[in-house]
Amino acid sequence: MNLVQANDKQNHTAVQEFILVGYQEYPALLFTVFLAIYTAIILGNGLIVVVTTLDQALHTPMYFFLRSLSGLEMCYTSVTLPKMMVNLVSGDRSISLPACASQLFFMLFLGGTECFLLAAMAYDRYLAICLPLHYMTIMSHRVCVGMVTGSFTISFPMILLQIGMIFSLPFCGSNEIDHFFCDTPQLLSLACTDIHSSELALYFQSTIFVIIPFLLILASYVQIAKTTLRMPSATGRQKTFSTCSSHLTVVILFYGSAAIVYLRPKNPESVKVNKLLSLLYTIIIPFCNPLIYTLRNREVKNAFRRLLGRTRALKRGMGMID
């Protein structure tokens, strides 16, 4: 028994880095695809931030939250995609322990923040639809800033505790992570000690980040549904549905994929499925967010046209176009 422990300790000291297996087939093609997606994420979400900031008509709580979400999505995607693209180009899939810990911290921190921010957006819709006369009084700018700030700060101490718990475990044996970023389930599988108590604690924390905001969102939409069904006008019901459909689509995609990855029982067959689902909530949803929130949003499209008009007028004034 002492010999086994000694070997484990020796292996633990030897693990100075991890290998991100990721996706190894067709690296040139995948790099091109991921580069195009990353560029679209930055440009699309960045455009929402610019438009909702410059257009005075969009200085409302709803677009304040949307601007915060778009900024968050740019940061969230930047934690994984650049590293994955570098790995595809260089062929070097290694990541040091500190870099792995940092990547996991920002993934969990920003992911947890998004959960609470989506809950804040649902509450905003609830007030606008169910309590319209009190909406502007309750959702003051100070309250909006406080809700966004709270979404960021509420998850920080628990995520820090979670990172400390994971990286205090001894790692031995294989250092290959069958994923394209450092993630909790894969790291726990590499630990060479009993992880039962760690899994329970981490499962509990994940439940808090997923279930509590989800229940708040569910409660908000139950009240919204009740109010909508009592509306006498079909046009009013359709307008309400159109207002909420974008946010509800993002909630279903984000929470659905994240819940399957982090809350369902782990088994060897789930590794490939989890990797695909992780692509959904880390890359595809941030890519689709600008489309989801703008294609059916007349106010954003009109603001974008006004911005283009002002840009053309400025260019004409500077003699750059005829």
Residue range 290-300, pLDDT digits in tens: 888 876 677 88
Domain boundaries, the chain: 16-317
Say if CB 31 and CB 88 are below 8 A apart: yes
Query: Is the pLDDT score of 216 beyond 90?
Result: yes
Query: Is the pLDDT score of 271 beyond 50?
Result: yes
pLDDT in tens, 142-187: 999 999 999 999 888 888 888 988 888 888 777 888 888 998 888 8
Say if CB 173 and CB 190 are below 8 A apart: yes
DSSP 50-94: HHHHH-GGG-SHHHHHHHHHHHHHHHHHHTTHHHHHHHHHH---E
Lowest mean pLDDT among 171-185, 221-235, 254-268: 254-268
CA-CA distance, 135 to 60, in Å (whole number)? Answer: 11
Query: Is the pLDDT score of 247 beyond 80?
Result: yes
More confident residue, 317 or 35: 35
Report pLDDT for 3. Answer: 43
pLDDT in tens, 4-45: 444 444 444 456 789 998 888 888 999 999 999 999 999 999
User: Any idea which residue has 């990547």 for tokens?
Assistant: 103
- CATH code, residues 16-317: 1.20.1070.10
**What H or E segment, with its residue span, contains residue 318?**
none
Report pLDDT for 106. Answer: 94
Query: Is the pLDDT score of 272 beyond 90?
Result: no
**What H or E segment, with its residue span, contains residue 177?**
strand 176-177
pLDDT in tens, 79-129: 999 999 999 998 888 999 899 999 999 999 998 899 999 999 999 999 999
CA-CA distance, 305 to 263, in Å (whole number)? Answer: 43
What percentage of residues in the chain have a pLDDT greater than 70?
A: 89
Contacts 24+ apart (CB under 8 A), 293-297: 293/48, 293/66, 293/246, 293/250, 294/48, 296/242, 296/245, 296/246, 297/246
Report pLDDT for 121. Answer: 94
Report pLDDT for 139. Answer: 93
On the CB side of 97, how many CA atoms lie within 13 Å of its CA?
Answer: 13
At 49, list the tokens.
């931030």
Query: Is the pLDDT score of 72 beyond 70?
Result: yes
Report pLDDT for 11. Answer: 44
Report pLDDT for 41. Answer: 95
Alpha helices in the chain (DSSP H): 2-14, 27-54, 61-78, 81-90, 97-130, 135-138, 141-153, 156-167, 184-189, 196-229, 234-263, 270-279, 285-294, 298-317
For the chain, what's the residue count?
A: 322
